[in-house]
Structure 1
Amino acid sequence: MDDLIDFLSSVIHFCERGDPLPVAFSKAKEIRRVRNVNYDELFELSRKLILSYYSLSGRSARKKVISFLEGANKISLPQWMNDELRGLVDLEAYLRSLESGRYKWFRVNTVLGEENQVLTSLERQGIKFERDGDFNYLFKVRSGNITKTDEFRNFKVIIQDKASVAVVEALKPEKGDVIFEFASAPGLKAELIYELTQGDVYLILAELDRERLTKEIKLLSRLGVDMGKVDFINQDSTMNSVLKADKVLIDAPCSSSGILYNEPTVLLGLRDKGKVENFSVIQKLMIREAFNIRFKKAVYSVCSIFPEEGEAVMDEYMDHLLSTNAGGVEGYGNHGSGKFCNRYFGHIHGTEDFFIATLRGSESHER
């Protein structure tokens, strides 16, 4: 038991220092070994530990772990989050979904592999899945670890959440489009645009973080994207340099409150509302900058459950809003923009929590 306590204490320590859970878990494995343990199960235990962080007693990591193992393992949010979400969603269902109610979604990279061949191979390896009813190239994993297959290692399978796919579907990329994406890393949306247009597209991808941009370039190359169809820009998208595009994708930096299931350490940065409010300011600056571009259509999206990063931002653009037809449900009804926007929720759709809105540009004839 002591080695388990030491291991989980190390996980908390690294998470409190700002490491994502997979990184914290790997670091803990380097310095603390646990005998006779299934590390996949231990990772899940670590995930639930961090989700329970605010319900644990004691100041030290060790005391928090002991509290957790003794049964104080209730999924818990900061009080301000509880108060706000209770008026927006079914909070109890939402909390249950954080514990066990989300799915892993994937699609076949048809640039590198033929769909039927890839799916047949996955079935032979014991991966059980079902085709999505909204986007027929998307699949929900029912059982099996798809990340341990050759298809995943060889980039023929791409893991991408359904809500993220819905963002691209809202943009409706067409052959011949010039598409500009703000804050584009890690690049999965860009790759999907490339696939949906069968490579007949010109992508302009902007990213502020140089390291993330370098990783994005490497990933898109490995995924089979023709790099002659892509321009990369290392820029702050609140100060944009692009003047014209057919369509603009503003997948803005946000609080990441929509990915708590997969990355519970986000909770540790949400002790108060400050992070959400700060990102809301950045998002508004990005959208304002986007309207300096001549475009026909834009999609704004954030992986956030909070209206401060979604509907409250779009309320300022009611004259530009178009109906967003990308599945999910309508946005929050206590905002005027809500009826034009879509939201995905983990406790309803088994996805990340996402907000999606569609905007008409100066060159659009849509109403």
Structure 2
Amino acid sequence: MSIELGDDFVDFASEVMYIIEDRLVSMDKAFHYARFRHRLRAPLRVYYNAVSDVVRNYAYLSFMARQLLGSTSRKAMVKAWLMLNTNGHYSRRLRRKVRATVEEVEGRLLEIRDKDPLTYLSIRYSFPRFIVEELSKGMNISELEAYLSHLNRRVTWLRVNTLKIDLDRAIKLLEDEGVEFRQNRQHPFMLMVEGYRKPLGYLRLFRQGLVVPQDLASALVVLNLKPEPGDVILDACAAPGMKTSLIMQLTEGRAEVVAVDISEGRLSKMRRLMRLMNVNESRVHIARSDSRLIKLKGGEINKVLIDAPCTSSGAVSKDPGVKLILDRRPGLVNHQSATQYSILSNLVSQFRGVEVVYATCSILPEEGEEVVGRLTEVFGVKLVKPDVGGLSDGYRNYPVSQLVGRVMPHIHGGEGFFVSKLLV
């Protein structure tokens, strides 16, 4: 890194971590709050990328800081990051004070790997120990390591919005702008970005809603619902509207969506997105309500999409702050699981002869296999294996494992998602 980072960065990055843990907010929000309290001497993007890496590797940096500096404070963790990733005057001065060399500390970490591989994986890839233990019940160590490693890697997917632009035209414009990408074979409107000349958000295609960022896993949730013209679909946790807009794209604007969300602020964003994406707003009925409690009238709805609120543990590449929050507040998992079951049970109890897709951006079985497993026992609903996207089976050792699907980052290239399909 050519720009020198020093005490100002240590103070700034440690405050971002504090805000994440104290307010339970995303890294982006914490970064936004902290930036107005500090005079940043380097370009904002430099700070953002560096802070993201600090947060993403918090457990590894805590281990290194303890061994190198004798402290696990937030500031010590940031200093450890500087020693490992920069070579300016500040980091060289820090290295003169360390208790051991980096090579010696890495050797100690490898000793842990041989004695306690789960602790090693928790430290190396910076995931809370309880998550690593839970995942180890359903996969061997080598697969678990690949899974955790790829969860940490940010992969950018784009969706071409064919409501506003022809696919071939969009591809030509992206290529002209210097964007390098690979089309998904099954779903060619989904593009995995491999390189670009300038930030994607600066492109005219983005500003005009011709191309939008949407992860492959998110798109696969909608694709497994198989929306068709004439469908009347309930999107039970709809805002900010990316999945609703994809429903309308796949049906060429000929489906009808009842879009429900509990947050008025998010629904306002959804309305703006619908206009930007050229969605026929007369066919999208937006309502503020709590899907845990909502009572629906009429029998027109034939499909239900529930992309439920969750821990977002499958999206740590996008928001590494999730790791810090779950490490400090593991009880959030059970809280979210209870919310998910409340939404599912309320809606399932009101329908007959309806297809329901339930999904979460979570790598935890408490928010996936366990929720739908309990639902099938209580309500007797039938599970049908999602068959779009070549999804992996659910985690082993659950009765529903072979009837549900998971998007695995190291296999599919998307975020970690749980996907299920129920016939009510």
What TM-score results when the alignment is normalised by the length of structure 1?
A: 0.91
Correspondence for 2:319: 263
Moved more, 122-131 or 138-147: 138-147
Q: Of the candidates 160, 163, 172, which is equivalent to residue 120 of structure 1?
A: 172
Verify the 8 A CA contact 2:8 2:40 in the aligned structure 1: yes
Please say if 1:9 is aligned against 2:10: no
Cα separation, partners in 2 of 1:98 and 1:251, compared to 1, 3 Å: closer
Correspondence for 1:287: 344
Verify the 8 A CA contact 1:175 1:198 in the aligned structure 2: yes
Residue 274 of structure 1: CA displacement?
A: 1.6
Deviations 1:50-96 (A, max 9, x none): 12223415464323312333348943122211211222342321232
Q: Of the candidates 351, 354, 379, which is equivalent to residue 296 of structure 1?
A: 354
Moved more, 189-198 or 50-59: 50-59
Residue pairs, 1:90-129, within 5 angstroms = 90-100=143-153, 102-129=154-181
Residue pairs, 1:68-79, within 5 angstroms = 68-71=81-84, 74-79=124-129
Please say if 1:355 is aligned against 2:418: yes
Moved more, 160-169 or 312-321: 312-321
Verify the 8 A CA contact 1:304 1:354 in the aligned structure 2: yes
Residue 31 of structure 1: CA displacement?
A: 3.4
Verify the 8 A CA contact 2:9 2:47 in the aligned structure 1: no
Matched AA of 1:285: S
Correspondence for 1:365: none
Bigger radius of gyration: 2
Q: Of the candidates 188, 206, 226, which is equivalent to residue 172 of structure 1?
A: 226
Correspondence for 2:281: 227
Correspondence for 1:364: none
Unaligned 5+ residue runs, structure 2?
Answer: 1-5, 85-101, 103-122
Distance 2:24 2:277 in 1: 30
Please say if 1:140 is aligned against 2:198: no
Moved more, 166-175 or 70-79: 70-79
Residue 207 of structure 1: CA displacement?
A: 0.4
Please say if 1:153 is aligned against 2:207: yes
Residue 341 of structure 1: CA displacement?
A: 1.1
Correspondence for 1:277: 334
Residue 38 of structure 1: CA displacement?
A: 5.2
Residue 322 of structure 1: CA displacement?
A: 1.2
Please say if 1:206 is aligned against 2:286: no
Deviations 1:297-355 (A, max 9, x none): 11010111011111111223164111211222111121121111110022222211001
Correspondence for 2:115: none
Q: Of the candidates 114, 123, 138, which is equivalent to residue 88 of structure 1?
A: 138
Distance 1:217 1:293 in 2: 27
Q: Of the candidates 31, 51, 68, which is equivalent to residue 25 of structure 1?
A: 31
Verify the 8 A CA contact 2:138 2:397 in the aligned structure 1: no
Please say if 1:335 is aligned against 2:389: no
Q: Secondary structure at the match of 2:221?
A: helix
Moved more, 338-347 or 272-281: 272-281
Deviations 1:231-265 (A, max 9, x none): 11211101122233110011111111111111011
Verify the 8 A CA contact 2:158 2:190 in the aligned structure 1: yes
Correspondence for 2:116: none
Q: Of the candidates 354, 364, 373, which is equivalent to residue 306 of structure 1?
A: 364
Verify the 8 A CA contact 1:248 1:295 in the aligned structure 2: no
Cα separation, partners in 2 of 1:4 and 1:78, compared to 1, 3 Å: same
Q: Of the candidates 201, 216, 220, which is equivalent to residue 162 of structure 1?
A: 216
What TM-score results when the alignment is normalised by the length of structure 2?
A: 0.80
Residue 130 of structure 1: CA displacement?
A: 1.2
Verify the 8 A CA contact 1:247 1:295 in the aligned structure 2: no
Moved more, 53-62 or 222-231: 53-62
Verify the 8 A CA contact 1:48 1:75 in the aligned structure 2: no
Deviations 1:261-320 (A, max 9, x none): 110111122125421111111111111111212442110101110111111112231641
Distance 2:409 2:46 in 1: 22
Residue pairs, 1:61-72, within 5 angstroms = 61-71=74-84
Matched AA of 1:81: I
Cα separation, partners in 2 of 1:311 and 1:19, compared to 1, 3 Å: closer
- In the alignment of these two chains, the number of paired residues is 359
Distance 1:312 1:298 in 2: 17
Unaligned 5+ residue runs, structure 1?
Answer: 362-367
Distance 1:306 1:99 in 2: 16
Identity, in percent, stands at 33
Matched AA of 2:347: A
Instruction: Give me the CA root mean square deviation.
Output: 2.0
Verify the 8 A CA contact 2:20 2:325 in the aligned structure 1: no
Q: Secondary structure at the match of 2:181?
A: strand
Residue 22 of structure 1: CA displacement?
A: 2.0
Deviations 1:150-193 (A, max 9, x none): 10111111111111111111100010010001111111110000
Moved more, 284-293 or 80-89: 80-89
Matched AA of 2:148: L
Verify the 8 A CA contact 1:242 1:293 in the aligned structure 2: no
Verify the 8 A CA contact 1:48 1:99 in the aligned structure 2: no
